[in-house]
A and B are shown apart, each in its own frame.
Chain A
């Protein structure tokens, strides 16, 4: 079973619309969760980091929430702009014995904001 699920896989909206991207995870003991943006052919840009003790984080038009008990995080984008078009990924670190840690990613939501 996919550990991190992002729904929808793709979303197309007109400019100015408010929208919500969803991220579901199976591990209720997550340490924190990070949202990233990825432009085509580029690396990942960190948007927001939410610690497990926090319920939400805000940066400009972006607001991310975290509900560990339900295994969900949402990324809210207000007043969307064409420049917001990108793929949005969520990820959390998973820790293993021996000190290893790995980021576990969803497959992302591809957002297109039409002018």
Chain B
């Protein structure tokens, strides 16, 4: 696609529920990243995919968070047993290499009530 697409744009869920956030990167971008941004803060790294594999998942806060990219394109960030502290904007970015910079999507605003 022309840009990085994230769906849904907004998600409100109850504490304890399971949510899935989707990212559709720019076609041909092999690198895909998930970040989380809290109010007034810069984005914080969650996970980095190179192709289908998670090259670095060191930013995932705990085992309730999991992400997949089964065909090397679309990625899904999965959060189990959501907590109020998970409320944030989840950003996805893709890149065809560090020389070319990074393109971000519009984000998914997750609110856990």
CB atoms of B109 and A41 under 8 A apart = yes
Q: Within 8 Å CB of B52, what residues of A? A: none
The range of chain A's interface size is 20 to 34
Report how far A46 CA is from B100 CA in the complex, Å. Answer: 11
Binding site for B on A (CB under 8 A): 4, 31-32, 34, 36, 41-46, 49, 51, 89, 91, 93, 95-96, 98-103, 105-108
Q: Is the CB of A42 within 8 A of B102?
A: no
Q: How large is the interface on B (under 10, 10 to 19, 20 to 34, 35 or more residues)?
A: 20 to 34
CB of A103 within 8 A of CB of B40, answer no
Residues of B within 8 A of A93 (CB): 98, 102
Does A36 contact B104, Cβ atoms closer than 8 Å? yes
- Contacting chain A: which of B13-21, B42-50, B66-74? B42-50
Known: A43-B106, A102-B48. A107 touches B98 (CB 8 A): no
Query: In the assembly, what is the distance between CA of A106 and CA of B50, in Å?
Result: 24
B101 touches A49 (CB 8 A): yes
Q: Across the interface, which residues of A come within 8 angstroms of B35, CB to CB?
A: 103
